[in-house]
């Protein structure tokens, strides 16, 4: 497949069902849009009904026959994640889960279950969701779990001594930690799936720098990023690594996709390298254990 990967290289998704979290805007929206254009039934996991309807309407303008449904999902709440999972488990099959929703550098906030928001939404929420959807995903030999990380995972550290930022809170460090957790989770999951001889693939990706609503908590700092908008990905381009991770027939479990341009910042999509610090099975294990303990979700491989 060419390195100038584009939307038209996404293979037909007819007959497949995909669940995309945070699908009402940004990269999640464009991922859902393309999957729908390629014929998938797409479940949009969103917390706000009006925003979900607006996104589905926008997709239907381009694909009038799109097969879409809103699944109410608030990743700040384990109860909401459980209820969303129950709805998805009622589907006949699930071929793709895209753990995309995310929050970046908010003021210190706790989720409804008392987790620091970025770690809670970006990692723990998706951990719980994936564990609860595993029984349905496992029924498909070719199913995939794609988790959206970030260039910011580089230099990230999991603060196991202060997971909920009770002692100190650095907005950026916590974002980096949550995005490193996305990679550690994917690698740990991939390892466990292989051990269980499951055909499922766990793949990670990142969208480089993409012009979306992610900067909503940056405040006046966002003006510093304005010049970057000239070279940033659009949201649609930022979705390409996710789409490739989700549908490229050559993707292998444990792979990581990002933009193909300089510094993985923008343009197209290709397989990219995971930071060496994330290739640490001891960390995978430690994170897995605390994630199970905190969410109460265990995976039935």
Ligand X SMILES: NC(=O)c1ccc[n+]([C@@H]2O[C@H](COP(=O)([O-])OP(=O)(O)OC[C@H]3O[C@@H](n4cnc5c(N)ncnc54)[C@H](OP(=O)(O)O)[C@@H]3O)[C@@H](O)[C@H]2O)c1
Please say which residue, 119 or 138, places its beta carbon nearer to ligand X. 119
Partners of 156 in the β-ladder: none
Q: Which of 5, 29, 175, 257 is catalytic?
A: 175
- Contacts with ligand X by CB under 6 A lie at 22, 24-28, 46-48, 51, 73-76, 100-104, 121, 148, 150, 206-207, 209-210, 212-214, 238
3-state class (DSSP) for residue 73: coil
Tokens matching residue 205? 């990706």
150-153, long-range: CB within 8 Å, 24+ apart, which pairs? 150/175, 150/176, 150/179, 150/182, 150/206, 150/207, 151/206, 151/208, 151/209, 151/258, 151/264, 151/265, 152/176, 152/179, 153/179, 153/180, 153/182, 153/183, 153/206, 153/275, 153/278
For the residues of 79-109, what is the DSSP string, one character each? HHHHHHHHHHHTSS---EEEE-----SPSS-
152: which 2 tokens?
Answer: 């910011």
Cβ proximity to ligand X: between 81 and 94 the closer is 81
Least distance in angstroms from the C-beta of 58 to ligand X: 13
Place of tokens 């003006």: 223
CB of 187 to ligand X, least distance (A): 17
First to last CA, the chain: 32
- Residue number with the shortest CB distance to ligand X? 26
List the one residue out of 242, 181, 188, 265 whose CA is nearest residue 28.
242
How far apart CA 101 and CA 103 sit, in angstroms, is 7
Least separation in angstroms between residue 108's CB and ligand X is 15
Q: What is the DSSP letter of 249?
A: T
Nearer to ligand X, 122 or 253 (CB): 122
Q: Which is nearer to ligand X, 60 or 93 (CB)?
A: 60
- Cβ 14 to ligand X shortest distance, Å: 26
Q: Which residue, 101 or 193, has its beta carbon nearer to ligand X? A: 101
* Shortest distance (Å) from residue 297 CB to ligand X: 16
Torsion-angle region of 180 (φ positive above 0: left; ψ -120 to 50: alpha; else: beta): alpha
Shortest distance, position 236 Cβ to ligand X, whole Å: 11
User: What is each CA distance from 266 to 233, 239, 254, in whole angstroms?
Assistant: 5, 11, 22
29 is catalytic: no
The token pair at 274 is 């995971």
d(CA 43, CA 56): 10
Nearer to ligand X, 101 or 294 (CB): 101
Catalytic residues: 175
């Amino acid at each position: 497949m060419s390195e100038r990967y584009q939307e038209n290289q996404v293979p037909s998704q007819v007959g497949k069902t995909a669940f995309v979290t945070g699908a009402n805007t940004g990269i999640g929206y464009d991922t859902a849009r393309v999957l729908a254009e390629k014929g998938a039934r797409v479940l949009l996991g969103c917390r706000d009904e009006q925003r979900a309807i607006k996104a589905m309407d926008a997709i239907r303008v381009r694909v009038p026959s799109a097969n879409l449904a809103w699944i109410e999902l608030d990743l700040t709440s384990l109860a909401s994640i459980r209820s969303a999972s129950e709805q998805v488990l009622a589907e006949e099959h699930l071929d793709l889960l895209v753990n995309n929703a995310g929050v970046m550098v908010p003021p210190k906030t706790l989720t409804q279950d008392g987790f620091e928001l970025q770690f809670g939404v970006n990692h723990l929420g998706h951990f719980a969701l994936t564990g609860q959807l595993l029984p349905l995903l496992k029924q498909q030999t070719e199913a995939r779990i794609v988790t959206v990380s970030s260039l910011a995972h580089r230099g990230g550290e999991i603060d196991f001594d202060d997971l909920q930022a009770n002692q100190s809170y650095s907005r950026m460090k916590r974002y980096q930690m949550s995005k490193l957790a996305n990679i550690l989770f994917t690698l740990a999951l991939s390892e466990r799936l292989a051990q269980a001889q499951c055909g499922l693939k766990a793949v990670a990706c990142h969208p480089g720098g993409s012009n979306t609503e992610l900067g909503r908590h940056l405040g006046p700092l966002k003006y510093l990023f304005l010049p970057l908008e000239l070279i940033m990905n659009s949201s649609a381009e930022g979705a390409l690594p996710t789409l490739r991770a989700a549908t490229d027939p050559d993707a292998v479990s444990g792979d990581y996709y990002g933009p193909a341009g300089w510094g993985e910042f923008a343009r197209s999509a290709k397989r990219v390298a995971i930071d060496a610090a994330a290739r640490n099975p001891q960390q995978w294990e430690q994170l897995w254990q605390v994630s199970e303990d905190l969410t109460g979700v265990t995976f039935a491989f």
